[in-house]
């Protein structure tokens, strides 16, 4: 996984923080499918993800309308329901407007 190549701000970040249950059946496959499907959505910019005890996935989007459409995607709705039923003890989603970004590349 690489750091997402984002455009000049403003753009939006959807921050999904989660703590998993012990159930892993199909989790990795569904996570991979969600990234693959998100990449095809209009307005998708990129994604970054890390998991230890706490998982954090940040997806970047052009605008709030793109985020709304992704939330309503039928396959994404299935994944959300499966996550609530089996995979997550707790999760929280936050949406933030990115007004400034900077970094360093070697």
Sequence ranges of the domains in the chain: 11-98
Residue 52 has a pLDDT of: 92
CA distances 54 to 3, 14, 61, 80, 93, Å, are: 19, 16, 23, 18, 13
CA–chain centroid gap for 16, Å, is 6
Residue 106 has a pLDDT of: 81
- CATH code for the part of the protein at 11-98: 3.30.70.100
pLDDT digits (tens, 9 = 90+) for 67-91: 999 999 999 999 999 999 999 999 9
CB–CB of 10/64 below 8 Å? no
Residue 2 has a pLDDT of: 86
The CA radius of gyration of the chain, in Å to the nearest whole number, is 14
Task: Specify the higher pLDDT residue, 4 or 105.
Answer: 4
Report how far residue 90's alpha carbon sits from residue 106's, in angstroms, rounded to the nearest whole number. Answer: 37
pLDDT digits (tens, 9 = 90+) for 29-51: 999 999 999 999 999 999 999 99
């Amino acid at each position: 996984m690489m750091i997402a190549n984002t455009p000049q701000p403003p753009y939006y970040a959807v921050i999904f923080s989660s703590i998993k249950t012990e159930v892993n059946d199909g989790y990795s496959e569904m996570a991979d499918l969600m990234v693959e499907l998100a990449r095809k959505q209009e307005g998708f910019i990129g994604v970054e993800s890390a998991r230890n005890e706490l998982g954090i996935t940040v997806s970047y989007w052009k605008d709030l309308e793109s985020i709304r459409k992704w939330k309503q995607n039928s396959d994404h709705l299935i994944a959300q329901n499966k996550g609530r039923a089996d995979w997550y003890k707790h999760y929280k989603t936050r949406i933030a407007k990115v007004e400034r970004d900077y970094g360093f590349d070697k």
